[in-house]
Amino acid sequence: MSIVSTKTNANLAIIIIDNPPVNALSHAVRLGVSEQMEINAQKDNIEAIILMCAGRTFCAGADISEFGKPPLAPGLPELIEQIERTNKPVIAALHGTTLGGGFELALSCHYRIMDVNAKVGLPEVHLGLIPGASGTQRLPRLIGAEAALEMITSGKAIGASKAEKLGIIDQLSSENLENDAILFTQQILKENQPIKRISDLNVQAQADVFDNFRKKITKKSRGYLAPDAAIRAVEAAVNLPYEQGLIVERDEFATLLSSSQSIGQRHLFFAERMAGKIPDIDKTTPVREIKSTAVIGGGTMGCGIAINFLNAGLPVKLLEISSQAADAARDKIEKIYLSSVKKGRISQQKMETTLALLTCIDNYDDLADEDLIIEAVFENMDVKKQVFAKLDQMAKPGAILATNTSFLDVNEIASSTGRPEDVIGLHFFSPAHIMPLLEIVRTEKNSPSIVATALKIGKMIGKTSVVSGVCYGFIANRMASCYSREAGLLLLEGASVEQIDKTLYDFGMPMGMFEMLDLAGIDIGVMARNNRPSDSYDNAAFQVHDSLVNEGHKGQKTGMGFYQYSDGNKLTNPKVQELAIKFAAENGIKRREISNQEIEERCVFTLINEGYKIIEEGIALRQSDVDVVYAMGFGFPRYRGGPLHYANHIGLKVIVEKIEKFAKLYGARWWTPSKLLIEQANKE
Ligand code: 3HC
Ligand code: NAI
């Protein structure tokens, strides 16, 4: 079948796009659709045209891989205007995920019919863009400015019933989409329904709608250019005639397309998909079946991990040290579901059917049938080894035994079993049921099949997986350790908690280092360091942390940490400054005024340097994997594309020079540039 073909059904032409996997609107598709539209618009025996797609979805958007290349005619905007101008009814039949340019294409048609399970949306903001083929002009005309603003600035897709309520579609199809589209089109012809062109409609909005919307999304869209540009474009749809509004949209789109933000966000889009491609794994690699799961340890992480599998419809056994602890874990999970019910995210019935899949136990004998067992007990090698020795006795042959350890050596954990090849790291991020990343820690004995199964598990629970080798902290926490070390040292050297946090927040991180430690619990890091040889980290950097924890100040959970918490307010904790002065003196560190630029560079450049070392050592497969881990695991601003993409933006030579300067000022221990970084910088 060619990429665009037409079949005739009585007086109807059915144009079918077949461009797997997602029918992206590449040049060949645009050209094919344009030609077929033209031909069928002129045929006397054709009274109406249906536009639909083969495969798993209607068009999922413009072809992102064509962005940045010289445009080839017809462009999507021109094709869209051509379709709307057609003098015969054009009906879009939508299935799968009709997104971005695909949705804009559908909006240029005169009628839309949609499969009940399909979705439509304009996700361009996730790529640092706005809809650039009239979406910001047509959607408000169809559903009103506010609803359009919501869809365009959130980038969220909506289901068929909501699309119907909003007036986006004219009919739902619950049976065979093609047949339903034919019946619907014949009905339109029979009733002599008019050709409905959305660009002919007008849209009005209250004067304050746009300012209110700007305020509403300020926090969420902090640092991003695209949401504001989207608001300006929708404002143009209200205030200007269609053609002039289009010009505003195109100017905004063009500016964003060449912006470093969109380039960074597009880099992450492909990086997330690339992460799943592992050199020794392909479609023929056998994967094990995962139909039942168990989680060992029902603490913060164990409960979150269990929820992932419950949500995927799998039975979960959650094992704790006692029946009381098992009950407490069940309560914790129930509370999380109840809160979702209260927020209207799931129904009471859905909660009940999901919770029916959970069994909380305190006996290892009950784990004999599970396909996958994930350990999430205390971060202590001896405890983990004991757990794995028991799992080795109880688990069936072929079961996958996984650890959620944050830092520990997974090879060593695996060695406590008689089947080390079946032990793998599945490192979740907190809160485990929300954070989208899964770090798969591949040991020296794991076969491609185990890793392929781990990738399948990630897909099953909707995570983006990145494979890491074994080292202290893997990709994610090894990098995070450097970042937090620099923040700790800067505190001793004279920067305040507030200055460091504000600088990192302004850089685009979701929160500052110390705010994050207070939220997670400062004691977690202290416990992790207690498990490490003391010469493997910078003791001085964490003395304030240790001291606070020794005095019972563990962060938000105790009402005091790097900040004081009172009546929902976050206040300065003067004790931290005193401690910083004390430990600076003890370590012979001269306190001084520190610029925000130095804070940013030391915290971010150490991430970059460590990222390169991680690749140099073969822990990460590629630079883009490091970007995905830090963007998805720790909220590195997506508009900067991840630390290593950002490094290219700054210039690798500049970074090497800075690292060498820091090495002179603060010692080579933490500031020796990675060989790979130097090598790449020399190629610049
Ligand atoms: N352009 C080019 N390639 C695309 C693409 C697109 N719009 N959408 C998906 N792909 C590719 C992916 O890179 C992947 O390639 P790979 O197999 O080589 O890794 C392949 O298609 C399959 O994609 P997924 O792995 O993401 O498949 P899923 O089934 O998990 O998801 C999807 C399908 C929901 C459609 C998801 O791919 C997606 O969200 N795509 C992007 C949609 C989007 O952002 N559209 C807007 C584009 S910008 C635009 O239209 C501008 C316009 O306004 C002018
Ligand atoms: P936690 O202290 O909240 O929970 C641990 C649970 O394990 C406790 O409920 C405890 O009763 C139970 N437990 C201890 N020994 C057990 C045993 N032998 N059998 C069954 N249950 C046992 O700890 P948390 O934070 O959930 O961490 C668990 C693991 O996850 C650790 O390895 C940690 O490093 C890792 N991790 C933690 C993250 C976090 O942000 N908290 C993030 C990612 C990984």
Q: Where are the strands (E) in 74-141, listed by range?
A: 90-94, 97-99, 111-115, 119-121
- Average pLDDT, rounded, for the chain: 97
Mean pLDDT of 82-87: 98
pLDDT confidence bin for 1, thresholds 50/70/90 = low
> With b meaning 16 or more CB within 10 Å and e meaning fewer, what string describes 497-514?
bbbbbebbbebbbeebbb
Tokens of 566: 């009172």
Mean pLDDT of 596-609: 98
Give one DSSP letter per residue of 454-515, joined into a string: HHHHHHHTTPEEEEE-SSTTHHHHHHHHHHHHHHHHHHHHT--HHHHHHHHHHHT-SS-HHH
Mean pLDDT of 75-85: 98
pLDDT confidence bin for 534, thresholds 50/70/90 = confident
Taking Cα atoms as reference points, which of 24, 27, 32 lies closest to residue 3?
32
Q: Give the pLDDT score at 246.
A: 98
Query: Within a 10 A sphere around the Cβ of 592, how many other Cβ atoms?
Result: 8
Mean pLDDT of 242-262: 98
Tokens of 482: 């450097």
Tokens of 84: 């709307």
Is the Cβ–Cβ distance between 59 and 17 less than 8 Å? yes
Q: Give the pLDDT score at 623.
A: 98
Q: Which atom of ligand 2 is nearest to the CA of 362?
A: 20
Per-residue CA distances from 592 to 241, 329, 491, 492, 589 (Å)? 59, 48, 10, 9, 9
Task: Verify whether ligand 1 is closer than 6 Å to residue 642 (CB atom).
Answer: no
Catalytic residue annotation:
104, 124
pLDDT confidence bin for 575, thresholds 50/70/90 = very high
* 75 alpha carbon, closest ligand: 1
Q: Give the pLDDT score at 156.
A: 97
Q: Give the pLDDT score at 528.
A: 84
Q: Give the pLDDT score at 531.
A: 79
Query: Within a 10 A sphere around the Cβ of 98, how many other Cβ atoms?
Result: 32
* Cα 17 versus chain centre, distance: 29
pLDDT confidence bin for 527, thresholds 50/70/90 = confident
Domain coordinates in residue numbering, the chain: 4-258, 293-468, 476-618+651-681
For residue range 103-133, list pLDDT tens digits in order.
999 999 999 999 999 999 999 999 999 999 9
Tokens of 450: 């185990």
- Tell me how far the alpha carbon of residue 11 lies from the centroid of ligand 1, in angstroms: 34
- Tell me how far the alpha carbon of residue 643 lies from the centroid of ligand 2, in angstroms: 29
| β-bridge mates for residue 555, sequence order | 560
Q: Is a pLDDT exceeding 80 seen at residue 472?
A: yes
Task: Verify whether ligand 1 is closer than 6 Å to residue 77 (CB atom).
Answer: no
Mean pLDDT of 604-612: 98
Taking Cα atoms as reference points, which of 309, 522, 528 lies closest to residue 428?
309
Residue whose CA lies nearest to ligand 1 atom number 41: 60
Ligand 1 pocket test: which of 23, 59, 64 has the largest number of ligand atoms within 8 Å of its C-beta? 64
Query: Within a 10 A sphere around the Cβ of 608, how many other Cβ atoms?
Result: 28
Residue with tokens 């739902």: 172
Residue with tokens 């079948």: 1
Angle among Cα 516, 549, 597 to the nearest 5 degrees reads 40
Mean pLDDT of 356-371: 96
Q: Which DSSP letter does residue 270 get?
A: H
**Angstrom distance (rounded) from CA 180 to CA 186:** 10
Task: Verify whether ligand 1 is closer than 6 Å to residue 627 (CB atom).
Answer: no
Mean pLDDT of 76-102: 98
**Angstrom distance (rounded) from CA 344 to CA 346:** 6
Residue whose CA lies nearest to ligand 2 atom number 10: 297
Could you say which of 1.20.120.1200, 3.90.226.10, 1.10.760.10, 3.30.70.3460 is the CATH number of the domain covering 4-258? Answer: 3.90.226.10
**Angstrom distance (rounded) from CA 14 to CA 197:** 20
Give one DSSP letter per residue of 570-623, joined into a string: EEE-HHHHHHHHHHHHHTTPPP----HHHHHHHHHHHHHHHHHHHHHTTSBS-H
**Angstrom distance (rounded) from CA 670 to CA 114:** 57
Q: Give the pLDDT score at 535.
A: 82
Q: Is a pLDDT exceeding 90 seen at residue 343?
A: yes
Q: Which DSSP letter does residue 14 get?
A: E
For residue range 275-313, list pLDDT tens digits in order.
999 999 999 999 999 999 999 999 999 999 999 999 999
**Angstrom distance (rounded) from CA 210 to CA 371:** 52
Range from 47-51, 66-70, 82-86 carrying the lowest mean pLDDT = 66-70
Task: Verify whether ligand 1 is closer than 6 Å to residue 279 (CB atom).
Answer: no
Tokens of 208: 């304050």
Q: Is a pLDDT exceeding 80 seen at residue 494?
A: yes
Contacts 24+ apart (CB under 8 A), 339-346: none
**Angstrom distance (rounded) from CA 670 to CA 38:** 65
**Angstrom distance (rounded) from CA 359 to CA 660:** 55
Residue with tokens 């009905």: 187
The two counts, helices (H) then strands (E), for the chain are 28, 19
In a 10 Å sphere around its CB, with 0-12 CB exposed, 13-18 middle and 19+ buried, how is residue 85 labelled?
A: middle
For residue range 407-434, list pLDDT tens digits in order.
999 999 999 999 999 999 999 999 999 9
Q: Alpha helix (H) ranges present in 43-124?
A: 76-85, 101-108
* 156 alpha carbon, closest ligand: 1
| Pairing between β-strand 358-361 and β-strand 316-319 as defined by DSSP bridges | parallel
CATH code given to domain 293-468: 3.40.50.720
| Pairing between β-strand 423-428 and β-strand 437-441 as defined by DSSP bridges | antiparallel
**Angstrom distance (rounded) from CA 417 to CA 427:** 19
Q: Is a pLDDT exceeding 90 seen at residue 446?
A: yes
Tokens of 135: 């979406």
pLDDT confidence bin for 593, thresholds 50/70/90 = very high
**Angstrom distance (rounded) from CA 312 to CA 358:** 12
Task: Verify whether ligand 1 is closer than 6 Å to residue 107 (CB atom).
Answer: no
In this structure, whether the domain defined by 476-618+651-681 belongs to CATH 1.10.10.10 is answered with no
Is the Cβ–Cβ distance between 368 and 396 less than 8 Å? yes
Residue whose CA lies nearest to ligand 1 atom number 25: 273
**Angstrom distance (rounded) from CA 426 to CA 412:** 15
